[in-house]
Amino acid sequence: MSDERNPSIEVRTTRFALEIIKLCGELPRSMPGEVLGRQILRSGTSVGAQYREAKRAKSVADFVSKIEGALQEIEETSYWLELISSSSMLAKKRTAPLASEAEELTAMLAASAITAKRRRQ
């Protein structure tokens, strides 16, 4: 269960994806802005999709594989956020909350994978 003070990973990844979509709309209409926008849009919205797939996993190994896929996507998203900020396409104050949420989601997903691996043993 989740509530507003302690939202579930599913809720958080959905909110994260929505914020990534908004951020993409703020990127400059230039070749670099469009390329980075496509990249971060794909990876940032994929995290939640991967997590939902993991919830429907057929085995612990399948669950771990899908969670690790979500981890790869969130790490990639963190990279694109860093490039967007470092290149001054958007102000750091705009990307910092998303970067922070990406770190928290990374920790939560990694903990889920570790717990599942322990249960498998």
Whether residue 120 has pLDDT greater than 80: no
Is it the case that residue 17 has pLDDT exceeding 60? yes
* Mean residue pLDDT across the chain: 94
Q: What percent of the chain has pLDDT over 90?
A: 89
Domain ranges of the chain: 9-120
pLDDT of residue 4: 67
Whole-structure pTM value: 0.91
CA distance 69 to 56: 14
Q: pLDDT band for position 117 (50/70/90)?
A: confident
Tell me which architecture the domain covering 9-120 has in CATH: Up-down Bundle (1.20)
